[in-house]
Amino acid sequence: MDLPGHPRLRNQILEHLADTKVIGFVVDASTVSRNGPAVAEHLHLVLHTLTSLPPSQHQPSLLIIAHKSDLLKTTTSAQSNAGALAINRVKTILERELEKRRASQTGGINIEGLGEEGERSDMGGLECGEKEGSSFKFDEWEGGEISFLGTSLAITSPGSDEKGASDSGLESLWEWLEQNM
């Protein structure tokens, strides 16, 4: 099921959660620094939804996909590690933005949503097993394990075989799904 990130459609996740095994949250690694607050707002909704599930309900795995890793400006030697660079970038920016949201909530200030005017939120879901004064970290998130994966755009040259899996840019996603499903 593909659910877009538009603010009016985000709550549709609730309709499909009972049958969901994996939530793949796709982040454009090439624009995340510019769109970090909006992406973090949407991810916060997903994290809140997962931590709000009753204990009797199966909790889906969360996979954050750092997509378009091939569009990041890298050196030739770093090109082979573009997926790792994309993951690091997405993870760092989202941790920073989610920490801002968490800090503003724990300080007693409600957060205004970026998608809808006049609406405020006091959602949870950002709890970490943190020490006093530490910041939000995905590795310490109390809602379960979060996996990260770097993917890229499909790059095929004219006349090449478009069926070749090695050209798709999504091999790592297919491998992750095979191993975890």
The CATH number of the domain covering residues in 10-180 = 3.40.50.300
pLDDT at 40: 92
Highest-confidence range of 2-11, 78-87, 93-102, by mean pLDDT?
Answer: 93-102
Mean per-residue pLDDT for 75-102? 83
Closest CA to 26 of 106, 111, 114, 90: 90
pTM for the model stands at 0.79
Do residues 54 and 111 make contact, with C-beta atoms less than 8 angstroms apart? no
Look at residue 106 and tell me whether its pLDDT is greater than 80: no
